Amino acid sequence: MKRFRTIFISGLVIFILLTACINKQSDGTNTKEGTGEHAAEQVLRDFLKNMHSGRFQEAVKLYGGSYQALIENNTNVSPNDYAKLLETACRINGFQCLDVLAAKLENEISATEFSFRVEFLNEDGTLFVRGPCCGGNATDFPPESSFSFTVKKDIGGNFTVMDLPPYVP
Q: pLDDT at position 169, please?
A: 87
Delineate the domains of the chain, giving CATH numbers in brackets: 34-161 (3.10.450)
What's the angle, vertex CA 93, arms to CA 166 and CA 76, rounded to 5?
140
What φ, ψ does residue 64 adopt, rounded to 5°? -120, 5
Q: pLDDT at position 134, please?
A: 67
Residues 130-139: b if buried by 16+ CB within 10 A, e if exposed: beeeeeeeee
Q: pLDDT at position 12, please?
A: 37
Q: pLDDT at position 91, please?
A: 97
Residues of the chain with pLDDT under 50: 3-33
What φ, ψ does residue 55 adopt, rounded to 5°? -95, 70
| 115 close to 148: Cβ distance less than 8 angstroms | yes
pTM for this one? 0.77
**String of DSSP letters for 13-54:** HHHHHHHHHHTPPP-SS-TTSS-HHHHHHHHHHHHHHHHHHT
